[in-house]
Amino acid sequence: MLEKIQKLLEEVEKLSASSAEEVEALRIKYLSKKGVINALMTDFRNVPAEMKKEVGMKLNDLKNKTQEKISALKDAAETNDSQADELDLTRTAYPIALGTRHPLTIVKNEIVDIFARLGFTLAEGPEVEDDWHVYSSMNFADDHPARDMQDTFFVEAHPDIVLRSHTSSVQARVMERQQPPIRVICPGRVYRNEAISARAHCFFHQVEGLYVDKNVSFTDLKQVLLLFAREMFGKDTQIRLRPSYFPFTEPSAEMDISCDICGGKGCSFCKHTGWVEILGCGMVDPAVLDANGIDSKIYTGYAFGMGIERIANLKYKVKDLRMFSENDTRFLEEFISAN
């Protein structure tokens, strides 16, 4: 009897069923009045008296485990049937092709990763902003001609609410709530009222950086940007800084990198100059520090900003800016290997 019980126990543990009908067949075979276990119960009366206690315990254990197994198989079969009823016959047939990260996301993550290794932390802010954080805190006076440099989308019902035209607004929010040292990188989408073409769009993406502390110099800025350029475009990349103007930095500069197509010799991509512009930068204007609650007599800082589309164009040689926002899967599939 004990051998039969042990053999049945091993058999029960291996039971499987893929449908409710198969589960019911197993229940009838093992647990019905004419089932295997009930037959053992009938034979129990023939067990010697000295073995009844041991055999009885084993028999009850077999019955309980069989009931648990049948119940588990029943639950699994009902779940499978329920999922089958919910099958959407309109969905794309298997196998479904895996997607890929967008090229702008790939480039943004690479930029953020490079600056993270240089000690910069990530900061983000709202895309719908107020005039103070976008302009006034960045040294744009109400009648400042520099406001005309950036065509802005205004919220009609609230003339002081705008779609941010640069991510400098995130820098302002960081400075107003945190005292130096500040070292942040600010990626995000920005908006400008421009005609859409192969070289311009009404929305695009920027990454700006800010470092404020005691004794920060232009040399610090140049070294960080050189390290970034060589990490992003290759160890042989050279940079040059040209004087420029931005309301929120003084002095200001635009940074070029040596063209990696011609090696600086001159080609159509770099307009035969050997250099390609990638970003603007400069030392934070003392007026910006003071406006955001930081004492410019104690602290100095630098800031820089670049367009992610611009970096992606240089990295992947994409000639038409509109391709980044048209969701053409043929274009996006080209970046699977870059993930």
DSSP symbol at 198: S
pLDDT band at 82; cut points 50, 70, 90: low
pLDDT band at 291; cut points 50, 70, 90: very high
Q: How many residues are recorded in the chain? A: 339
Q: How far apart are CA 319 and CA 307, in angstroms?
A: 15
3-state secondary structure of 210: strand
- What is residue 87's predicted lDDT score, i.e. its pLDDT? 67
**Span 13-35, mean pLDDT?**
82
- Give residue-wise pLDDT tens across range 94-151: 777 777 888 899 999 999 999 999 999 999 999 999 989 988 999 887 776 655 555 7
**Span 207-211, mean pLDDT?**
96
pLDDT band at 238; cut points 50, 70, 90: very high
- Give residue-wise pLDDT tens across range 275-286: 989 999 999 999
Q: What are phi and psi of 274, to 5 degrees?
A: 85, 0
- What is residue 83's predicted lDDT score, i.e. its pLDDT? 58
3-state secondary structure of 101: coil
**DSSP structure string for 243-296:** EEEETTEEEEEEEEEE-TTTTTS--TTTTTSSEEEEEEEEEEPHHHHHHTT--T
Q: How far apart are CA 199 and CA 195, in angstroms?
A: 10
- What is residue 81's predicted lDDT score, i.e. its pLDDT? 61
